[in-house]
Each structure stands twice: as structure tokens, then as C-alpha cells.
């Protein structure tokens, strides 16, 4: 399944009061795994940059002055997203801004049915802070490059977080040899060594005898043929 993990940077908190998108970063994932395909653009907001917003992402009005306006990149953005699911952290914020921009240039907004909010998923799984930084720390994801908010970097980090939230790493089960010893089962980061000795049977000798007596009432059951063939094969392998 193709999904788009995205993040935006803006001039403020509310598009209804004139705030605009200044950066979009998005990465493509297939079955939660990044493909390497991405979309990244800085956007001229056609307005000033409030100081409080500049402190968050470091994008000045001067830096953005020669960048394309949203309408100029809307076609490429819409093509990259397509009809696939859009994944964002606190998605209502990003989608409100993007839909405001899409509507301004006469394009179809992103539908609610097309949106996955990782913040909502994280809140169902974990108590306490579920900010992107907190989730990176929880899952051991290196976020040291995140000195300021940046849409593409945040989207890349969110892709890793999303994999963890979906249980992607834990879903991988590998069998490996451990220093010439018995096979070790690896599930995510957890390693399980087989028991040195099998657990004792839970049935008693009387129960085994009763079962054998019951089986003796059958006349040449089919499974006895397969058991005999299996025993013969094992004997041949041992002889070799």
C-alpha cells in the first residue's frame, strides 16, 4: 500500500487569519517502508514572516522571496500525493493549511477519508508526551539533526515513527546462527534462545497408556502408514 508521509512549515497557526504554507516535505512509503521518492519545496507566502514562526523553522521572508508561490507547485504536489493516504503528525493542522492553499488555487482539497493522524495513533498507544521528538526518543530514532523544524526532515523522521507505530520492525522474524550455537530467533530487537532442555510432558503415564489402548481399537488407521514412512526415512538419513 502506497502512503505519503508529510509535514509543513507555515507563517503561523491559522490559515483563516492569513497564515500561509512556506515549506512542504513529503516521502513516499510502500507498506510503511520508505522508497526513497520524496517531494520537497520552499514556498513564497507572499507576506511577512512573524518572528515567532521564524524562531521555529528559521525560514525568513528574504530567503523565501524568490521561491515559487503555492499555485506554481500545486500540480506537482497533487500528482505526488495522488489518491493515496496522507500521513501527518497532528494531521488536522497540516491538512487545514494544505486544503486552504489548494482551495485558493481552485484545486480539490484532501479528503478526511484520505488522512492518517500519527498523533492520534500514538495517543492510543502511549501516555505522556507524544510529540515527534518524544516518539523518536521512545523508539530510539536519531533526531539529533532536528535543531529546527524542517518539513522534509520531519517527514523522514515521521516515516520511521510510523513504522514503529504500525509494528513494522517487530513484524520481522529472522532465524540466525549465534556463534555456532543453536538457532536464535530474532523478533525486532529481542533475541530468544531455545530452551537447553525441553519441558517435561504434562500427561501422566496412565494417560499415555489409556491413549495407546484407545488407538489400538482402530484397524490400520491411515496415519500409521505415514508414521511408518517417516520412521523409515529418518532411519535412512541416520544411516547415511
Sole residue written with cell 482402530? 218
Copy the grid coordinates of residue 27. Answer: 516521502
Rounded distance, CA 81 to CA 8, Å? 14
Residue 22 φ/ψ region, left for φ over 0, alpha for ψ in the -120 to 50 degree band, beta for the rest: alpha
Question: Known catalytic residue: 89?
Answer: no
Nearest to 174 by CA among 195, 196, 189: 189
Nearest to 1 by CA among 39, 28, 37, 40: 28
Distances (CA, A) of 83 to 79, 96, 111, 115: 9, 18, 10, 11
Select which of 57, 113, 126, 149 is catalytic. Answer: 149
Helix (H, G, I), strand (E, B) or coil at 175: strand
Instruction: Answer whether 105's CB lies under 8 Å from 71's CB.
Output: yes
Residue 116 CB coordination number (10 Å): 17
Sole residue written with cell 477519508? 113
Rounded distance, CA 176 to CA 191, Å? 10
Rounded distance, CA 171 to CA 181, Å? 24
Catalytic residues: 149
Amino acid at each position: 500500500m502506497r502512503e505519503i508521509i508529510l509535514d509543513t512549515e507555515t507563517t503561523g497557526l491559522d490559515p483563516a487569519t492569513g497564515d500561509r504554507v512556506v515549506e512542504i516535505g513529503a516521502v513516499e512509503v510502500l507498506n510503511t517502508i520508505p522508497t526513497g521518492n520524496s517531494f520537497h519545496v520552499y514556498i513564497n507566502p507572499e507576506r511577512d514572516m512573524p518572528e515567532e514562526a521564524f524562531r521555529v523553522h528559521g525560514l525568513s521572508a528574504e530567503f523565501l522571496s524568490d521561491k515559487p508561490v503555492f499555485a506554481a507547485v500545486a500540480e506537482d504536489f497533487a500528482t505526488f500525493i495522488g489518491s493515496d493516504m496522507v500521513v501527518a503528525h497532528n494531521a488536522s493542522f497540516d491538512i487545514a493549511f494544505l486544503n486552504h492553499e489548494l482551495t485558493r488555487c481552485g484545486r480539490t482539497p484532501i479528503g478526511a477519508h484520505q488522512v492518517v493522524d500519527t498523533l492520534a495513533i500514538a495517543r492510543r498507544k502511549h501516555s505522556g508526551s507524544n510529540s515527534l521528538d518524544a516518539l523518536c526518543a521512545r523508539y530510539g530514532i536519531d533526531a539529533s539533526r532536528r535543531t529546527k523544524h524542517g518539513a522534509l526532515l520531519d517527514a523522514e523522521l515521521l516515516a520511521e515513527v510510523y513504522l514503529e507505530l504500525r509494528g513494522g520492525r517487530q513484524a520481522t522474524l529472522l532465524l540466525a546462527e549465534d556463534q555456532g550455537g543453536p538457532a536464535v530467533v530474532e523478533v525486532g530487537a529481542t533475541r530468544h534462545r531455545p530452551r537447553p532442555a525441553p519441558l517435561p510432558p504434562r500427561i501422566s503415564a496412565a494417560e499415555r497408556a489409556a491413549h495407546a489402548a484407545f488407538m489400538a481399537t482402530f484397524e490400520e488407521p491411515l496415519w500409521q502408514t505415514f508414521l511408518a514412512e517417516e520412521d523409515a526415512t529418518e532411519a535412512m538419513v541416520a544411516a547415511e
